[in-house]
Amino acid sequence: MRTLFMGWGLFLLAVCSNAVQAQQVTVYPTNWWAGMKYNKVQLLLKGEEGLNKSQVRISYPGITLGKVHTIENNKYLLVDITVQPTAKPGNVAIQLTAAGSKTQTLQWPLLARAKGNGTVYAKGVTSEDFIYFLMPDRFSNGDTTNDRVPGMRDQSLNRSDLGARHGGDLQGIINHLDYLQNMGVTALWLTPVLENDMPERTEHGYAFTDHYAIERRVGGAAMYKKLGDELHKRGMKLIQDAVYNHTGSFHFFMQDPPAKDWLHQWPTFTQTNFKEQPVFDPYASAKDRKITSDGWFVPSMPDLDQTNPYVANFLIQHALWSVEAFGVDGWRIDTYIYNDLPFMNRCNKALTDEYPNMTMFGETWVNGTANQAYFAENNINVPFKSNLQGVVDFQCLFTGIKSALTETNNGDGVYKLYNTLSNDFLYKNPMRNVIFLDNHDMSRFFSEVKENVAKQKAGIGWLLTERGIPQMYYGTEILMKGYSNPDLLVRADFPGGWEGDAVNAFTGKGLTADETAIQQYTKLIANFRKSSSAIKTGKLMQYMPNKGTYVYFRYDSRQTVMCVLNTADTAVQVNCADYAERTSGFTKAHNVESGIILPVTKALEIPAMSLQILELQ
């Protein structure tokens, strides 16, 4: 792993030296790498009044100076350079000469590339993985010295206030990687870790204020790199939460924008309509389409104009920089449907061109499978074709497993699950969709099923056996509960992450019998999944539900797994002969949870409100 991030010390030095010169000139990106395929880099120089009148010279072997762009704000310059294949790592001297002034020289690092592209890092996240999603501020506090950082606007630290910071950090996550790995987790997705110097509500990270700084209150750049290293040593993966649509209002894009057209401007504050239909509706008005894409989320999150080529270059270069600097393996893309979609295609392609194994999945909180499929690689005949590999599959949750386990009176709910999956013909590859039960923006699944432990267990069993990439939100495995409104309990602390916690889910101390049982069940099924070729990469066959009972198979040439979901309040008998297309030739069924082996020739009794996972032998 020492060779993975060669030159990291030089990189940190560059960041620090840029910070020292921040009152003069700061360069974005803060560095680049020799040997990158993306070698035409656009530098954004940010300085003081009159910077745009400076003459730029670069004298470095293998670096070619291209066009220098002046823009509306005279404190900025955009400088095009080409890093030739012959360029060697070192400090590139950028000379700035203003009229009648002395020449100022900036040292811009060109680093050696990391080794192991696609094998050690940038590996991509696939259906073979099990993603664990957490908020660093709410998982574990491993370093109390960074709980508050002098000079930052938000000095809150109050665990009793769900809108304040609680002190969780990257060291806390590293301290508990054994817990995650033992549970069968293979990939870790964090809410954004970029610096978030906003005056309040900084715990979630989505209103960040500096693309090229890692939040110091979670440990900073060195600790983020360490987390990536520690994950890779274990064969695990790091997913970065990418926010292209907006920044926080204290970002310089808002405080001192390079030009007005870097943001979507309105005469008065205009909020997005939160509707996706105008993006693809053949009958949509231009007005509705503009409000969808260009409207702001909230006043504190200025909306970026990605049709501006300078903005697009800045964002794409930051994405590439993040992968190379920290060893990111995959991207979760926030608010995908509100971004400029041609820009997103360009950004996605830049990532996969540089990192062929890189994968991306986008947040698509929409209505219906056709609406959702539009934003991914699909089989739909539409004018715009997305290259996004997969989506966060809200449909499999809303009209899928949630309906199946809450609408149980006449079996309509489980039919909705069946119907949702029948629409997979819309996707180019539905196995790349990320399925889930809950997240940081919605009520916890345990609350949605009215704290019914059997339903929670069935939901987790489904999550770990269905097609796609399973993602579990922190605490789902120990029955954490809460509604998204009005109390934000969905973002409560993970018990045991802070010294003195009465309950410690990492060790099991203080957990109830039900909490322990679900935690152990999650561990059992997730680790079975890890060794199951049929579930990880196999095919799916589903049968039409029968009075609330739903049978589906995951299978390949090596293994067949039969899953039976009974949503009724009484046990049912299932005759394997009714599913001969998949059960023929097998004589035994191994119950993965109980370990009991049952004869396939006899009817199987499926307990009330349960999902039985049976490996056929």
Catalytic positions, please?
334, 363
Q: How far apart, in Å, are the Cα atoms of 338 and each of 205, 315, 316?
A: 18, 15, 17
Strand extents, DSSP E, 376-502: 390-392, 434-436, 469-473
Of 112, 109, 107, 62, the C-alpha closest to 87 is 62
Q: How far apart, in Å, are the Cα atoms of 318 and each of 32, 102, 321?
A: 10, 31, 5
Of 521, 522, 518, 502, the C-alpha closest to 510 is 502
What letter does residue 31 receive in the DSSP assignment? -
Residue 46 contacts residue 35 (beta carbons within 8 Å): no
* CA of residue 600 relative to chain centroid, distance: 41
Strand extents, DSSP E, 153-242: 187-190, 194-195, 210-214, 237-242
Name, in order, each residue with C-beta under 8 angstroms of 19's C-beta and a sequence gap of 6 or more. Answer: none
The string over 299-332, giving b where at least 16 C-beta atoms fall within 10 Å of a residue's C-beta and e elsewhere, is ebbbbbbbebebbbbbbbbbbbbbbbbbbbbbbb
What letter does residue 260 receive in the DSSP assignment? G
Position of tokens 């909490």?
515
How many CA atoms lie within 13 Å of 15's alpha carbon, on the beta-carbon side? 15
Longest dimension (CA), the chain: 94
Position of tokens 């790995």?
181
289 backbone dihedrals φ, ψ, rounded to 5°? -65, -40
Task: Please tell me the distance from the alpha carbon of residue 372 to that of residue 432, in angstroms, as a whole number.
Answer: 13
Task: Please tell me the distance from the alpha carbon of residue 238 to that of residue 219, in angstroms, as a whole number.
Answer: 16
Q: How far apart, in Å, are the Cα atoms of 491 and each of 185, 371, 385, 393, 500?
A: 20, 29, 36, 21, 19
How many CA atoms lie within 13 Å of 48's alpha carbon, on the beta-carbon side? 7
Residue 122 contacts residue 357 (beta carbons within 8 Å): yes
Residue 58 contacts residue 46 (beta carbons within 8 Å): no
Torsion of CA 387, 388, 389, 391, to 10 degrees: -150
Q: Which two tokens stand for residue 475?
A: 């605490």
Rg of the Cα atoms in the chain = 26
Q: Which two tokens stand for residue 459?
A: 């939901």
